[in-house]
């Protein structure tokens, strides 16, 4: 059985979620027959970089080029499209730079690039985790990018764009893949759940989306995982899998902070510890939550950007707490929580620095 993220991988740019601007540029390039010889696709994990690389390969090699030039999309009906989707295309070579990062592998790549396509019109090389390549490997690749063979497309995908040498990046078209908004991920998960006949509440889907940190692939994988655990998963079961504090627990901690109720704060820490939850993550989520409330207090315009990151319940809570906080006291607490977070990660008693920070500022 295919994993959900593979089963529902977009087969066209119209199905691509959260990267509409890049999708439109690629569609226009396909319509005009102006696909570039090299691309750098960069951004957070799970946002569609490898998917787009494969779609580019389909645009270049689709056997129905009249359809490509008219619609700016692969036909998804020809043998080439089917083989690329299935990962069987001889002329679409995917390389994981994390495990093939040396100069010998790049020399092999250069030799392969010189060979004409065997089955299709274009040979496409997709180098994933490109930032892992060594300096010698980059130097070996540079000459190829300066004088690329005809009918060859090289696509570099990376989560760390700053590690791509400027000499490489300047010879390619660059596309930034942004984190996907929370509600966009929720809508996609609802669509998948309906097709798969998965019984799951909106609260759980929102928690899964929030836990994915803007990556649709991570969200789909987590949905797959929680539905194996239970036919009707709840927030508590997802918390146990992810090791991430749910919104309600973080809001409860924030309520204790605003009310200067040290007993309630300590009770939340004790509850998550007793349940085997991740206390370090609770501290981290509380830091992020209080930072948002503090920032919103000084810049109300941030609400529009928070809408992409938070559920309606979380946003309403952040707004209420933003109006109620004492900024100076929250700043001091944030400093203590950040110090505690550093200590917690390496302490055999991670709850102690967290509790001390709460007692110091709320007691």
pLDDT for res 338: 96
**CA-CA-CA-CA torsion sign (80, 85, 99, 46):** positive
The tens-digit pLDDT sequence of the chain (363 residues) is: 678 888 899 999 999 999 999 999 999 999 999 999 999 999 999 999 999 999 999 999 999 999 999 999 999 999 999 999 998 999 998 888 877 666 667 677 777 777 888 889 999 999 999 998 888 788 878 888 888 888 899 999 999 999 999 999 999 999 999 999 888 999 999 999 999 888 888 888 888 888 888 899 999 998 888 887 766 777 777 776 776 667 788 899 999 999 999 999 999 899 888 877 788 989 998 999 999 999 999 999 998 888 877 878 888 999 999 999 999 999 999 999 999 999 998 888 889 999 999 999 887
Rounded Cα distance, 81 and 55, in Å: 9
The yes or no reply on domain 247-362 and CATH 1.20.272.10 is yes
Beta bridge partners of 95: 127
Distances (CA, A) of 139 to 43, 122, 159, 208, 352: 23, 24, 20, 42, 50
pLDDT for res 103: 65
pLDDT for res 57: 95
**May I ask the CATH architecture of the domain 183-242?**
Orthogonal Bundle (1.10)
**CA proximity to 124, closest of 89, 98, 166, 100:** 89
**CA proximity to 160, closest of 199, 133, 125:** 133
H or E element in which residue 38 lies: strand 38-42
pLDDT for res 160: 93
Indicate the angle between helix axes 216-229 and 202-211, nearest 10 degrees: 130
* Maximum Cα interatomic distance, the chain, rounded to a whole number of Å: 73
Overall fold of domain 4-176 = Rossmann fold (3.40.50)
CA 83 from chain centre, in angstroms, equals 26
Indicate the angle between helix axes 351-362 and 327-344, nearest 10 degrees: 160
Q: What is the pTM of this model?
A: 0.80
Where along the chain do its domains lie? 4-176, 183-242, 247-362
Residue-wise over 85-102: b if at least 16 C-beta within 10 A, else e?
Answer: beeebebbebbebeebbe
pLDDT for res 265: 92
pLDDT for res 138: 86
pLDDT for res 102: 64
pLDDT for res 261: 92
**CA proximity to 256, closest of 310, 321, 316, 312:** 321
């Amino acid at each position: 059985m295919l994993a959900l993220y593979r089963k529902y991988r977009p087969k066209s740019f119209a199905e691509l979620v959260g990267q509409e601007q890049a999708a439109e540029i690629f569609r226009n390039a396909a319509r005009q027959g102006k696909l570039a010889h090299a691309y750098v696709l960069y951004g957070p994990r799970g946002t569609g970089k490898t998917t787009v690389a494969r779609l580019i390969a389909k645009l270049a090699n689709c056997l129905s080029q009249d359809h490509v030039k008219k619609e700016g999309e692969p036909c998804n009906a020809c043998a080439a499209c089917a083989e690329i989707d299935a990962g069987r295309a001889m002329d679409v070579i995917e390389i994981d730079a994390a495990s093939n990062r040396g100069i010998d592998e790049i020399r092999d790549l250069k030799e392969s690039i010189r060979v004409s396509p065997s089955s299709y019109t274009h040979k496409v090389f997709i180098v994933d985790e490109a930032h892992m390549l060594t300096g010698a490997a980059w130097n070996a690749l540079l000459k190829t990018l300066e004088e690329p063979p005809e009918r060859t497309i090289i696509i570099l995908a990376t989560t760390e764009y700053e590690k791509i040498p400027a000499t490489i990046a300047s010879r390619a078209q660059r596309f930034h893949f942004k984190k996907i908004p929370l509600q966009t991920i929720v809508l996609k998960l609802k669509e998948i759940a309906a097709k798969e006949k998965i019984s799951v509440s909106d609260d759980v889907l929102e928690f899964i989306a929030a836990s994915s940190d803007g990556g649709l692939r991570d969200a789909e994988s987590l949905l797959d995982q929680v539905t194996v655990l239970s036919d009707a998963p709840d927030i508590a079961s997802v918390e146990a899998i992810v090791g991430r504090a749910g919104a309600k627990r973080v809001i409860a901690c924030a309520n204790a902070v605003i009310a200067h109720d040290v007993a309630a704060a300590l009770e939340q820490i004790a509850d998550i510890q007793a349940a085997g939850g991740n206390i370090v993550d609770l501290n981290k989520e509380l830091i992020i939550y209080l930072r948002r409330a503090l920032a919103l207090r000084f810049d109300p315009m941030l609400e529009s950007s928070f809408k992409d990151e938070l559920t309606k319940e979380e946003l309403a809570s952040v707004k209420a707490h933003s109006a109620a906080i004492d900024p100076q006291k929250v700043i001091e607490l944030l400093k203590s929580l950040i110090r505690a977070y550093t200590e917690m990660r390496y302490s055999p008693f991670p709850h102690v620095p967290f509790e001390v920070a709460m007692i110091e500022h709320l007691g």
